[in-house]
């Protein structure tokens, strides 16, 4: 063979992975190959491979391409080569790719399908793992990093996946955890604890995975969507897509809902967001509070809202919201908080779990974030709940309210009972008098107009005008600048 024929022979062999038989076995497991996954993820014909001829049975395909025209780096574990076992050659390829992505300020997507470490290479693999994890950690908050779990992802690989900004697990085939299922319980126990392994919810209810996809195609579509919602790096402005031509139209009559005191937070967020633009993050983890990326007239916004009217804030809810706020702040994404909460959970169990300490973490994450922050009080905002999720004195740039808002120092009924205790106790029938006094003073105590008079609320707006007003404020805040004390970072760990 001439040199050109030798080249084609070597390249074709490299592209075959573990060979046709192993590829067929992969398909029999209802999984597609590493190269097929990259082809689904990236724009057609845009993939350029790096390190294709690296020796040492490196079971990973690395390279770059585009997602809707944006430069993206990708590496995909190849299960057809020794089960995608991690080895020194693989580490070298991955480190090279991550270095490229850091230089270019471009997002990275890792597709994981691996049985774990190649044990025959011994203790030296700990060094190889360390080199990869160090780069993932150093690039955190610099460029977006996404993990798509299309098979086993255990041990040290799971640490690398959960260190990235977003983790997408594929139902029934994606498995993520520090320990394998066989090590932590019987099949029956794992079935009962569906937050970990059963029914394919591999880590989505525990928060290990941010998204659960029904199949690989959906997983890659989620990955593409995330890329389209984020800037390419932390020095870029928030991603501004195509404008919503229905900016001045309400999808639902919010004025009517408020007048009838009949609204849901999900309806409100759907009304605010551009059509089909809600990308909910950690849907299965802490269902009482929701976080998600939405578009408002094409502008990417990080939204926080409670799924139930007057939801209580729990320890897990704090973790979910605080980490989401930190993510938004890393990539210059403005934050919108929709508030209707009675405050923090009243529970001995929650207090034992560190509610006081964790509540401080939630507030710190919002205070520390320098991106534009707008709060909109829909219903109740009492005491610490107001300060943490709505108050402009502590964290937010602008605080708005609907006429339906109820703002008070503490639980309004308790506050009224304390304020008018003498009048209640002097009555012949204190219980009847108590009910009468509460009804008489309730509107006065919780009135949003009183809060506006005192400057706690910047404006009270018509519900049907919410989208226009919120977008105008976020647009104004794009040139926001804050002076901070010189420091490396705060000591409060979120």
Domain ranges of the chain: 10-229, 254-405+457-479
The pTM of this model reads 0.87
Q: Which residues, listed in sequence order, are joined to residue 407 by a DSSP beta bridge?
A: 381
The SS3 of residue 480 is coil
Q: Establish whether domains 10-229 and 254-405+457-479 are of one fold.
A: yes
Kindly state the greatest CA–CA separation across the chain.
Answer: 109
pLDDT digit string (tens) for the chain, length 494 residues? 777 766 666 666 666 666 788 888 889 888 999 999 999 999 999 999 998 777 667 889 999 999 999 999 999 999 999 899 999 999 999 999 999 999 999 999 999 999 988 888 889 999 999 999 999 999 999 999 999 999 999 888 899 999 999 999 999 898 888 876 554 444 444 333 333 433 344 455 666 889 999 999 999 999 999 999 999 999 998 766 666 555 444 456 888 888 777 788 888 999 999 999 999 999 888 877 899 999 999 999 999 998 766 678 888 888 999 999 999 999 999 999 999 987 788 788 888 888 888 889 999 999 999 999 999 999 988 888 899 999 999 999 999 999 999 888 877 777 777 787 777 787 777 777 777 766 766 677 788 998 999 999 999 999 999 999 999 999 999 988 887 788 887 877 66
The CA-atom distances, in angstroms, between 357 and each of 53, 375, 410 are: 52, 23, 20
Output the CA torsion sign for 14, 15, 21, 26.
Answer: positive
| Dist. CA 49–CA 51, nearest whole Å | 7
The SS3 of residue 73 is strand
| Three-class DSSP labels, 227-283 | HHHCCCCCCCCCCECCCCCCCCCCCCCHHHHHHCCCCCHHHHHHHHCCCCCCEEECC
254-405+457-479 placed in CATH 3.90.226.10: yes
Interacting residues of 434 by C-beta distance below 8 A, sequence separation 6+ = 417, 424
CATH homologous superfamily for the domain 10-229? 2-enoyl-CoA Hydratase; Chain A, domain 1 (3.90.226.10)
Quote the radius of gyration of the chain (alpha carbons, Å): 26
Q: Count how many Cα atoms sit within 13 Å of the Cα of residue 456 in the half-sphere of its side chain.
A: 21
The SS3 of residue 455 is coil
| Dist. CA 90–CA 74, nearest whole Å | 14
């Amino acid at each position: 063979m001439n040199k050109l024929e030798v080249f084609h022979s070597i390249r074709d062999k490299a592209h075959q992975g573990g060979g046709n038989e192993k590829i067929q076995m992969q398909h029999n497991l209802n999984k597609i190959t590493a190269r097929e996954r990259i082809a689904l993820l990236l724009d057609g014909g845009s993939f350029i491979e790096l390190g294709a001829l690296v020796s040492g049975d490196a079971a990973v395909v690395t390279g770059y391409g585009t997602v809707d025209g944006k430069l993206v780096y990708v590496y995909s574990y190849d299960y057809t080569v020794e089960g995608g076992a991690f080895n020194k050659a693989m580490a070298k390829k991955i480190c090279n790719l991550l270095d490229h992505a850091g230089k270019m300020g471009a997002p990275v997507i890792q597709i994981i399908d691996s049985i774990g470490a190649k044990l025959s290479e011994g203790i030296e693999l700990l060094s190889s793992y360390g080199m990869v994890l160090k780069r993932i950690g150093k690039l955190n908050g610099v460029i977006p990093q996404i993990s798509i779990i299309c098979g086993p992802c255990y041990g040290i690989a799971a640490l690398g996946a959960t260190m990235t900004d977003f983790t997408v697990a594929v139902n029934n085939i994606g498995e993520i955890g520090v320990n394998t299922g066989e090590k932590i319980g019987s099949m029956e126990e794992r079935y009962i604890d569906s937050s970990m392994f059963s029914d394919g919810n591999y880590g989505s209810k525990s928060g290990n995975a941010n998204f659960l996809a029904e199949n690989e195609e959906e997983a890659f579509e989620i990955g593409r969507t995330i890329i389209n919602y984020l800037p390419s790096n932390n020095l870029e402005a928030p991603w501004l897509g195509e404008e919503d031509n229905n900016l001045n139209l309400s999808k639902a009559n919010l004025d009517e809902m408020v007048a009838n005191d009949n609204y849901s937070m999900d309806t409100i967020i759907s009304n605010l967001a551009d059509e089909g633009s809600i990308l909910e993050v950690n849907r299965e983890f802490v269902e009482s509070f929701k976080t998600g990326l939405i578009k408002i007239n094409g502008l990417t916004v990080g939204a926080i809202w409670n799924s139930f009217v007057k939801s209580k804030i729990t320890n897990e809810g704090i973790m979910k919201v605080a980490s989401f706020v930190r993510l938004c702040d890393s990539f210059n994404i403005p934050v919108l908080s929709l508030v209707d909460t009675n405050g923090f959970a009243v529970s001995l169990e929650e207090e034992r779990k560190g509610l006081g300490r964790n509540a401080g973490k939630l507030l710190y994450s919002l205070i520390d974030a320098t991106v534009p922050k707008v709060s909109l009080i829909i219903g109740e905002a009492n005491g610490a709940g107001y300060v943490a999720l709505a108050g402009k004195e502590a964290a937010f740039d602008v605080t708005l309210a609907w006429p339906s808002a109820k703002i008070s120092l503490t639980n309004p009924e308790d506050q009224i009972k304390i304020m008018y205790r003498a009048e209640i106790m002097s009555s012949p029938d204190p219980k009847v008098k108590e009910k009468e006094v509460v009804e008489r003073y309730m509107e006065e105590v919780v009135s949003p107009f009183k809060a506006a008079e005192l400057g706690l609320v910047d404006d009270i707006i018509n519900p049907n005008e919410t989208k226009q007003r919120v977008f105008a404020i976020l647009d104004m805040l794009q040139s926001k600048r804050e002076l901070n004390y010189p420091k490396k970072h705060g000591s409060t760990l979120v």
